[in-house]
Chain A
């Protein structure tokens, strides 16, 4: 009755851990000035990236990241069995159009800002399940495309509260394979959509923190591991205040993450950027994972981390109708292989 590769309630483990053979990241100008600038493959110098619209710029970033990842692994489009990708725009239009150029069998994903980790988890399942030899996973976001869809036009004068986050302009792509060299994915814990009654679209951290905390504690329970098994616990885009909340909630459940808990949204910008609580968006966890975190594994300063892609499952419609916002967190364990 029990699924052979399922561990506990929400965690799956991989018999032949899929290998991340290649990653690529393309980021916008602001991210390229941040503390992680050196870890990205390419920094675009203008939010339009030479295109007419920001949407086209985001598509081009995605396509560039795909190309770069293929190139690093000396692969061609036809070598990829499935492409899993998603973004924040209506009907995930950026990924759909990027998939047209990539010309690979394509499955579109939407997990709000958790999309990269949803993709890594699903991709690893496809590979370990024997359905694919190579899977390409990607996610992207763009400050201007997201801002005008979810909030206000960018030239409109509005004040952002301190809890507001800044959507990362960036695209990250990872290629998973059955064999090869690189870090491996050993476990994935799929999160539940958890709604603690928060409805403030300008405070996504508070919306997502319970989901992230739940997935992380669930992971420890399911695997009977403790936090010190990991060098780092990295959430996607909780921001300063969301991270503080998640830390509190996790502590309440009896786990102490102190010293190893960080957040991609906090890492990606520095204070001078005036981004308030930190970065957010699909691109946030995607580029930090594909750039900085992979670099940490490679350099050996981190042996093993658990990454938790966090997402706030809202739409402009649900916000206007007064729906509270469910959050979600998907965890993936990535290890450097000795």
Chain B
């Protein structure tokens, strides 16, 4: 007996009864099924993921600190050294994405590879590279901003709101 039609079939079974095929799935059935799915679904390997996210993200930031220190010894002031560090990390991430290594880092390190600015660079390069076959305008040009676009929109709007609020309520 088809599990979706159990209740209907408890009476006389008449194959081909019209209307039978139009019985929609009830909310109760959906809930029951969601329970079953929950039981069968494997749990995410949370602790493992968290550990490697910590290590990967930590190492990228540590590398950032080393680069920052280097620029500071070259006589750059704090903000300029920070900007130079960002640019360097972005360059490295773009390069590692190009040679097919960065996606392995994030596959392994999860958010550890996504949250740092290197992950931001990866999210720009990877679609742009992949959609180059769609041309220089709609391919590379547009797809660079697939994920960077939303990030910039949210970042810029939030910062603007912060500035405006500061103007009125400082």
Contact = CB atoms under 8 A, between A and B. Distances in A.
Q: Do the two chains touch directly in the complex (Cβ atoms below 8 Å apart)?
A: yes
Interface of A: 2, 8-10, 52-53, 55, 148, 152-163, 192, 194-198, 203, 206, 210, 213-214, 217-218, 221-222, 241, 244-245, 248-250, 252-254
Contacts of A213: 3
B124 to A, nearest CB: 10
A156 B126 contact: yes
A192 B5 CA distance: 13
A248 B32 CA distance: 13
A155 B103 contact: yes
Contact of A210 (B4, B100, B114): B4
Q: Is the interface of A mostly helix, strand, loop or mixed?
A: loop
Nearest to A245: B40
Contact of A221 (B15, B36, B123, B131): B15
B85 interface: no
B18 to A, nearest CB: 10
A155 B42 contact: no
Contact of B127 (A153, A192, A195): A153
Nearest to A244: B40
A157 B103 contact: yes
A243 B102 CA distance: 33
Contacts of A10: 21
Given A2-B16, A155-B97, A163-B42, 14 more contacts: A8-B16, A9-B20, A53-B133, A148-B130, A148-B131, A153-B131, A156-B122, A163-B41, A197-B31, A206-B41, A210-B3, A245-B40, A249-B3, A253-B6
Contacts of A217: 1-3
Interface centre among A153, A214, A222 (most CB of B within 10 A): A153
A221 B103 contact: no
A8 B45 CA distance: 46
Contact of A161 (B3, B44, B107, B127): B44
B110 A221 contact: no
A245 B3 contact: no
A53 to B, nearest CB: 5
B130 A153 contact: yes
Interface string B21-40: 10001010111011011001
Nearest to B31: A197
Nearest to A8: B15
A9 B20 CA distance: 9
Interface in B105-130: 105-107, 109-110, 113-114, 119, 122-123, 125-127, 129-130
B49 A159 contact: yes
Contacts of B29: 196
Contacts of A210: 3-4, 33
Interface of B: 1-4, 6, 15-16, 20-21, 25, 27, 29-31, 33-34, 36-37, 40-42, 44-45, 49, 97, 100, 102-107, 109-110, 113-114, 119, 122-123, 125-127, 129-131, 133, 146
A9 B107 contact: no
Contacts of B119: 157
B15 A9 contact: yes
Contact of B21 (A9, A196, A198, A250): A9
A192 B21 contact: yes
A71 to B, nearest CB: 31
Contacts of B44: 161-162
Contacts of A157: 102-107, 109, 113-114, 119, 122, 126
Contacts of B110: 159
Contacts of A250: 3
Contact of A248 (B36, B45, B129, B130): B36
B25 A195 contact: yes
Given A155-B97, A194-B25, A162 B4 contact: no
B20 A197 contact: no
A221 B42 contact: no
B126 A153 contact: yes
A-B pairs, 9 with minimum CB distance: A157-B106, A197-B30, A156-B126, A155-B126, A153-B126, A162-B42, A153-B130, A253-B3, A196-B33
A221 B42 CA distance: 32
A222 B129 CA distance: 51
Interface centre among A161, A198, A210, A214 (most CB of B within 10 A): A210
Contacts of B20: 9
A155 B125 contact: yes
Given A163-B42, A196-B33, A221 B1 contact: yes
A140 to B, nearest CB: 18
Contacts of B104: 157
